[in-house]
Each structure stands twice: as structure tokens, then as C-alpha cells.
């Protein structure tokens, strides 16, 4: 099924947290560097403040990145806005990131329940429905988000769905192409109803059989978080549809060498 978010040549290069090796994670310099290199896809995390602002921030607590104490969702926006990642960079609003680069697509990992009802409002204000993929380590969060979103949005599979793909019977082959048999047809219908279009998995999960089964189910496979050139090459050779990396320069170089670098429009 056609999904605007995935309407891009494969493989897709994702700048994980903006490219955390080249700049403080989930900060404007990291995102801007990846965009300047030509990245069409940025990956980020979403957490809510106590007064309903959706921020690009990974951790539940503020200590590791800002030195402040306590969970971000117990702070008001004005308090969070005054903090600095690595002592220098403000924490961006998801809405501001979506507005900064209208031609860039965002993979958004919902990290807490409080942020779920905020995302539809952000997408309405920015008109970014076709430019986001919603993902989470929580199947419950994904189900709630899907119910609240009043337009179709690309969704990643839940952890339970990933497990189902891993355990599914391998596809039959017709004319050199994988074709789902009866057991996988049921799983494919369930994934379609959940609007799941991609499986985003760690490298240990992205085996050749998993990728083959996911493709038979109509899913793209995006592998995270791969920061070494050998790993990037291995997963690309296995047929991965996308790679998420902190080292945006290394992945770009690997893809250029393979003639598989597809930069954003205008880059």
C-alpha cells in the first residue's frame, strides 16, 4: 500500500537523534548538520512537559543531558526551555522541527503517554501528516495514537508485531518473489489494520529470514542504531530498506560508495 512517508528511493538513511555523534543528540546543530549533508529523514523522540508541550528529548529524566534533576514531564515548558543540552543547546519543540524543514521527514518515537494526545494537534498545525512515522516501544501507546490521529499516518510495528514476524512461517516463492501463505496473510491483514508499514528493529533482529518475512508481509525494515561501516554494509547487503545511525557522515559515505545515496530535494 502506498504511504507518502516511504515514497523515497531505498535504502533510506535516518539521522538518529539528528546524528548524535556529530552534535549533541536531538539538538538544532545535530539536525541542521544532517539536513546540510542531504538527509531526507531525521529520527527523534517526543516527551511532554507538564503543561502540554511536545519536546524532542529521549530520556525520562533530565540529568544525563542537561544536569537538571527530575523527569521532564514534571517541568513546565518555560523551565525546560531554559535548560541546555551539553551546557549549550536548547531542547527543541517537535512542532518547531517540523516547521524548520518542510521537505524533511521525521521518525517520531513516542516516549510517554502524556505526549500522545499532543501529537495530533502538532500535526494539524504543521500539516505534516505525510512527513511523519510514529513509532514506540509500547504497543499500547501506538494503539492510542492511532485512535487519536484523524488522518492516516505511517506507523511502525509494535514490539508484539515484530515478535510475530520473527515467528511467522517463511513465505512461499512465486516467480522469484516472496508470496505470503495463509498463516502470514492473517498477520498481514492485522498489520494493515494497524496501519503498520515498517518494522524498525535492532541489528540483532534484522536477520536475513526476518527481512525476507517482513518484505513478504509488505513491511519495510529499518535497522537501528548502526554506527560502524561494516555493519551498515552488512545490513544493506541483507536487503534492509533503511539504516538509522548516529554517524551521519559515515552512512552517507557508505551509500555514496554503493551509489545508493538519495539526498533530500534541493540538497
Q: What is the pLDDT along the chain (267 residues), one digit of tens a residue?
A: 678 999 999 999 999 999 988 889 999 999 999 999 999 999 999 999 999 999 999 999 999 999 999 999 999 999 999 999 999 999 999 999 999 999 999 999 999 999 999 999 999 999 999 999 999 999 999 999 999 998 999 999 999 999 999 887 554 444 455 554 545 677 878 888 778 999 999 999 999 999 999 999 999 999 999 999 999 999 999 999 999 999 999 999 999 999 999 999 766
Is residue 187, in this structure, part of any structural domain at all? yes
Integer Cα distance of 85 and 30 in angstroms = 12
pLDDT at 266: 65
Which helix (H) or strand (E) is 222 found in, with range?
strand 220-224
Is residue 20 domain-resident? yes
266 occurs within a structural domain: no
Closest CA to 213 of 177, 174, 165: 165
Please report whether residue 223 resides in a domain. yes
Q: Which of 8, 58, 215, 222 is catalytic?
A: 58
Q: Which domain holds residue 145?
A: 4-257
pTM of the model: 0.92
Is 33 one of the catalytic residues? no
CATH code of the domain in which 59 resides:
3.20.20.190
Choice among 16, 33, 215, 222 that is catalytic:
16
The number of folded domains in the chain is 1
* pLDDT of res. 169: 55
* Number of residues written out for the chain: 267
| Residue 129 counted as domain residue | yes
Q: How far is CA 189 from CA 183, 215, 217, in A?
A: 11, 14, 9
Q: Is 222 a catalytic residue?
A: no
**244 located within any domain:** yes
In a domain, 267, yes or no: no
264: in domain: no
Amino acid at each position: 500500500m502506498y504511504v507518502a512517508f516511504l515514497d523515497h528511493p531505498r535504502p533510506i538513511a535516518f539521522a538518529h537523534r539528528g546524528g548524535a555523534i556529530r552534535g549533541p543528540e536531538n539538538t538544532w546543530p545535530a539536525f541542521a548538520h544532517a539536513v546540510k549533508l542531504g538527509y531526507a529523514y531525521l529520527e527523534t523522540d517526543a516527551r511532554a512537559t507538564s503543561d502540554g508541550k511536545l519536546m524532542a528529548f529521549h530520556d525520562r529524566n533530565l540529568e544525563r543531558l542537561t544536569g537538571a534533576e527530575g523527569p521532564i514531564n514534571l517541568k513546565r515548558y518555560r523551565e525546560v526551555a531554559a535548560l541546555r543540552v551539553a551546557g549549550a543547546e536548547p531542547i527543541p519543540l517537535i512542532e518547531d522541527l517540523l516547521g524548520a524543514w518542510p521537505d524533511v521527514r521525521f521518525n517520531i518515537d513516542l516516549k510517554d503517554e502524556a505526549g500522545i494526545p499532543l501529537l495530533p494537534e502538532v500535526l494539524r498545525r504543521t500539516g505534516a501528516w505525510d512527513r511523519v512515522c510514529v513509532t514506540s516501544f509500547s504497543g499500547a501507546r501506538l494503539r492510542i495514537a492511532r485512535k487519536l490521529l484523524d488522518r492516516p499516518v505511517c506507523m511502525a510495528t509494535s514490539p508484539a508485531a515484530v515478535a510475530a514476524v520473527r515467528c511467522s512461517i517463511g513465505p512461499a516463492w512465486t516467480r522469484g518473489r516472496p508470496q505470503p501463505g495463509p498463516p502470514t496473510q492473517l498477520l498481514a491483514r492485522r498489520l494493515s489494520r494497524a496501519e503498520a508499514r515498517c518494522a524498525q528493529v535492532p541489528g540483532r533482529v534484522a536477520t536475513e529470514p526476518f527481512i525476507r518475512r517482513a518484505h513478504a508481509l509488505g513491511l519495510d525494515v529499518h535497522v537501528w542504531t548502526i554506527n560502524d561501516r561494516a555493519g551498515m554494509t552488512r545490513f544493506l547487503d541483507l536487503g534492509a530498506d533503511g539504516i538509522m545511525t548516529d554517524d551521519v557522515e559515515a552512512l552517507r559515505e557508505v551509500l555514496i560508495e554503493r551509489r545508493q545515496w538519495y539526498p533530500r530535494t534541493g540538497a
